[in-house]
Structure 1
């Protein structure tokens, strides 16, 4: 009798849940490699959002429980705080505390009182937060396609939409009793963002997720490009709930430089009028094609140290990775991250900012274009012991847009060791934010000195020797507008030897600055002093001292000359005489008393120089040594 009663009870339980619907956006694929954290705060969390249209379709149905998957159980008291709410910042409808006994498994939250959906809610959020140490990754994703306005995470005291972070969906699931079948497709982030050159063979795809509760077997893709519209019908499909589906976009003309607007709409899902919510079925973007001859270089900054036993191997790994990719890569080696040494410059400790944990640094390490590739690291820096990590980071950085072309021009007076640097930045495309910086580094090759596991005469190459700007972060640029030329110039004197203020042995901390082995590296990119994941180098280039490098996509030579004349003149002193590089109509030299003096055999001192070029006067104070 007891067995029969148990069987009946089991049937009743099954019957009571036969019409229950598990709603969410994530596949049930749980992979420990998909754990992550955002920002530097101890408080972390995730939430998913249901739209007004979906809630209207579920009107009168009840939410009785939800399930969550988290990446670590090392939270305060091994608990997470769960909630159901109409806003992420207000008072929840329901909330509770759950114990995390095991990470990477579903944790069930049964509401004390089931919530009945009214259909009047603008939206509903269900999620969790917890306090957790900075060395643990609490958040979980399925690495599917990003969908806008559906997945959120708690970062640095605020909730943020994770759309565009390449995370996919949070592993959060809601049980809705007696829900009818829903047909719902949500278009995801498509790969129109990227670096494309005119004439390239480009493959473009769009993807969407089945956010309903029934399989999708057909849909139409309506594509509008430059005013022309095409419709492609897809049938005989079997896209299961929570699965993503990708399809190609054809008929895109890549032959012309510049921008093309594109709009893609998913329509007639499972037939006309069948879909619950069509408000999230479209995506609009802009395709941009850079000049066919566009030149782009990647900046690889390594972190090393003379006392680091694994660094010689790391140097070889970096060299091998650069060679294997075949990309144009400019390398700079910062002697920081392990221990300060003979080559550590005053700016170097600033770059520890890029480590995942600034109190626990390591070497050998590297970052490429200061990008954070989430599949490899939580910060821009990766372990250089792994060639695969280096390769992945290089390939990822190469997909990002360069925005600009650079022209780096240097002149060197070897007798005085005076170096003049001019940098011109020509934007092809307007940068969509106003927090960019440019900087100019000095780099030296061929320095023979001690290296742990490398001997006393190890050759140190690409050694960072400080900034020409005199600033670790460089100069801020608020406006990078397409076609608007930016120019900058500075003259410095390179000392006979460069001193490290961090190396304790005063008898050994001067390194000869050999001019023929030195070069200048210039770059421009995004900057955020509070978040090391919001950095990327747009483009960079390098020139040996006294030489120049104009990237092929910069402009025609006549355009460059015109830009130089409009922006600045190179005024310098040679053998006691003021010289001007460039076309000008009048040159006058004055002493500090205001008296005009002859421009020949000038005595040591400070002078005021006035140059008229193109109807404009330039005034500059110069020093005759």
Structure 2
């Protein structure tokens, strides 16, 4: 499932309580966009997926066929009566021809009172629309609204179907949930249609294209022209990296797509079309998709470099499938590596604002996480959500917030790692909410600690050392970030890997909405010495060195400042959320230096992460200290590290 940052500059100007204004075709009534994030996610079951009741021969027809829903909502800044709809084309109809649309479901971010569902048949050549069925909806709820049609609609070949629901627009309300995040194929033209009087164009249907995503509208179809036996596999995910001879975890979605539900089937796990594991009927099939989790061992003789890991249906009821096999396989590229570096620190980027009432709730959560691990670096990006006026905003932090902050304030990224687990990341966004009430702090920290652990499944392929020199009289700061990488660094992290170097400051006093008039703010992003999203790494063979010079602002207190350096994948408007991860991170105070990179890459077969660190005399420490450090790894290894 590819999840991109939409059209970032256009859409992610400001989220949550600041509404990014988007023009309709004629520019009269505008569409506003809001993220549906809530404080205390655990307390929001109404917005979670619910299962629609279906008969044995009914299936979901739509841009996606799961019970998930999008996490963004739209609204209009004008009042009036409108319809929100999607057009189901041949791509969605497929084998549903010959069946009947028996139910319709649509997702809402807010209550809209009474509504009405309509199903139109659309002639392909003329575009003429014929109303086939409509159903009054007496009341609505947040999340999915399931409607049974009194008059089912036959699904015919050679026509499209437009399904819509009525709503009353109220400025400041955001009822129209869109699904660009959960739709595996991205937004589809015709997935965001609206009927009403939107200005100079008068009353009629308006196509908003793909910029907002698709409205969360699905149909349930009874019957169709499906083969007797067919299985569909989709949404394969796995670790990006693995060492030869080690286990790799994977997951995928599977469902029955035939008239008959098979009693037995075989799934082969393949590396470059070579079978490395087999699973017999890992889950009892239904007509709704289910998630299957598994593990396989990568062959010990697998060559370093990129490979394709995939799962494939090879038998159904003991027979090899011969028809409709294009969706019997799903996979992704994984890299087998021979050596890695020790992960030094984990970067947490916090999105916050002095104008945000709930932002103080994040501090106890991050403090608890830091206490649990001892290897956390926090950078606080102050922004304009929900309003301008935060005195600690800087251009670089604002650019990063505009690019990444999809969950509103307070939220955070953890090594910029996209967490695929629905249990840990229900909204399936890169940023995770941090606004938890006090009774949930321990639980939230444990959950976020697991996200950090999962992010460490991506090995570090370079180390980071920092040397700083500060001139008190001139306030000039010189920084050198240097280190070494494994021989295949560019194969694993990329020729375009970037180095980001930030300045942060602690102990800044500023009034906080929802907190104190004399609130103390730590980890505040002051400036990026590199580009805000990182600059090219100056490699010389397997070593690198990047140098920076800056004169500190007169208002900054150098004794409270840190340099934060990290190696990351490049970030662009078209970056996939799964491809902006951070590979290693380190920090030190101004005027000090840290040489934390180990002398040589780790070449054994361990894949663990650091869990404890000791001095040579057995004293437990929370961060590297000069001399010989003894590092215990989560996979049972003990590594000796020289810190200069």
Q: How far 1:80 sits from its partner (Å)? A: 6.1
- Residue in 1 aligned with 2:477? 419
- Residue in 2 aligned with 1:240? 286
- Residue in 1 aligned with 2:175? 136
- Residue in 1 aligned with 2:528? 467
- Residue in 2 aligned with 1:62? 98
The structure whose RCO (Cα within 8 Å, separation 6+) is larger is 2
Measured in 2, the distance between the counterparts of 1:298 and 1:39 equals: 32
Q: 2:436 aligns with which of 385, 408, 411?
A: 385
- Residue in 2 aligned with 1:323? 371
Q: Is the 8 A contact 2:75 2:176 kept in 1?
A: no
* TM-score normalised by length of structure 2: 0.59
Q: Is the 8 A contact 2:236 2:253 kept in 1?
A: yes
Are 1:491 and 2:491 an aligned pair? Answer: no
Where 1:217 maps in the other structure, the secondary structure is coil
Q: Is the 8 A contact 1:20 1:176 kept in 2?
A: no
Where 2:107 maps in the other structure, the secondary structure is coil
Q: How far 1:518 sits from its partner (Å)? A: 2.8
Gaps of 5+ in 2: 1-54, 77-82, 193-206, 420-424, 603-644
Q: Is the alpha carbon distance of 1:284 and 1:448 closer, same or farther for their aligned partners in structure 2, counting shifts above 3 Å?
A: closer
Where 2:464 maps in the other structure, the secondary structure is strand
Q: 1:36 aligns with which of 63, 70, 83?
A: 70
Where 2:363 maps in the other structure, the secondary structure is helix
- Residue in 2 aligned with 1:375? 426
Q: Is the alpha carbon distance of 1:532 and 1:312 closer, same or farther for their aligned partners in structure 2, counting shifts above 3 Å?
A: farther
Cα deviations by residue, 1:274-303 (Å, 9 ceiling, x for unpaired): 675212111243322453544264322224
Q: Is the 8 A contact 1:83 1:127 kept in 2?
A: yes
Measured in 2, the distance between the counterparts of 1:189 and 1:410 equals: 44
* TM-score normalised by length of structure 1: 0.60
- Residue in 1 aligned with 2:18? none
Q: 1:353 aligns with which of 396, 402, 409?
A: 402
Q: Is the 8 A contact 1:65 1:108 kept in 2?
A: no
Q: Is the alpha carbon distance of 1:267 and 1:258 closer, same or farther for their aligned partners in structure 2, counting shifts above 3 Å?
A: same
Residue correspondence of structure 1 range 107-122 to structure 2 within 5 A:
107-108=147-148, 114-117=154-157
Measured in 1, the distance between the counterparts of 2:270 and 2:466 equals: 44
Alignment size in residue pairs: 497
Q: How far 1:491 sits from its partner (Å)? A: 1.4
Where 1:385 maps in the other structure, the secondary structure is coil
Are 1:514 and 2:559 an aligned pair? Answer: yes
Measured in 2, the distance between the counterparts of 1:183 and 1:312 equals: 55
Q: Is the alpha carbon distance of 1:433 and 1:354 closer, same or farther for their aligned partners in structure 2, counting shifts above 3 Å?
A: same
Q: Is the alpha carbon distance of 1:182 and 1:160 closer, same or farther for their aligned partners in structure 2, counting shifts above 3 Å?
A: farther
Q: How far 1:171 sits from its partner (Å)? A: 4.8
**Considering only CA atoms, is the larger Rg found in Structure 1 or Structure 2?**
1
- Residue in 1 aligned with 2:588? 543
Measured in 2, the distance between the counterparts of 1:229 and 1:51 equals: 32
Are 1:279 and 2:329 an aligned pair? Answer: no
Where 1:250 maps in the other structure, the secondary structure is strand
Are 1:410 and 2:498 an aligned pair? Answer: no
Measured in 1, the distance between the counterparts of 2:595 and 2:57 equals: 62
Q: How far 1:385 sits from its partner (Å)? A: 2.8
Where 2:238 maps in the other structure, the secondary structure is coil
Q: Is the 8 A contact 2:394 2:526 kept in 1?
A: yes
Q: How far 1:375 sits from its partner (Å)? A: 0.9
Q: Is the 8 A contact 1:185 1:281 kept in 2?
A: yes
Q: Is the 8 A contact 1:64 1:113 kept in 2?
A: yes
Q: How far 1:331 sits from its partner (Å)? A: 0.2
- Residue in 2 aligned with 1:190? 236
- Residue in 2 aligned with 1:314? 362
Cα deviations by residue, 1:238-270 (Å, 9 ceiling, x for unpaired): 423325363635342379754443343202212
Are 1:250 and 2:296 an aligned pair? Answer: yes
Residue correspondence of structure 1 range 171-182 to structure 2 within 5 A:
171-176=218-223, 182=228
Where 2:175 maps in the other structure, the secondary structure is coil
Q: How far 1:327 sits from its partner (Å)? A: 7.5
Q: Is the alpha carbon distance of 1:393 and 1:278 closer, same or farther for their aligned partners in structure 2, counting shifts above 3 Å?
A: same
Are 1:439 and 2:500 an aligned pair? Answer: yes
Where 2:369 maps in the other structure, the secondary structure is helix
- Residue in 1 aligned with 2:625? none
Cα deviations by residue, 1:507-553 (Å, 9 ceiling, x for unpaired): xxxx43327x5333345345345999788442333233341456559
Q: How far 1:186 sits from its partner (Å)? A: 0.7
Q: Is the alpha carbon distance of 1:305 and 1:46 closer, same or farther for their aligned partners in structure 2, counting shifts above 3 Å?
A: same
Cα deviations by residue, 1:139-192 (Å, 9 ceiling, x for unpaired): 57999xx97799999479445999xx9xxx975312336x67732101122232
CA RMSD of aligned residues (A): 5.6
Residue correspondence of structure 1 range 9-88 to structure 2 within 5 A:
21-24=57-60, 34-37=68-71, 55=95, 62-72=98-108, 78=115, 82=119
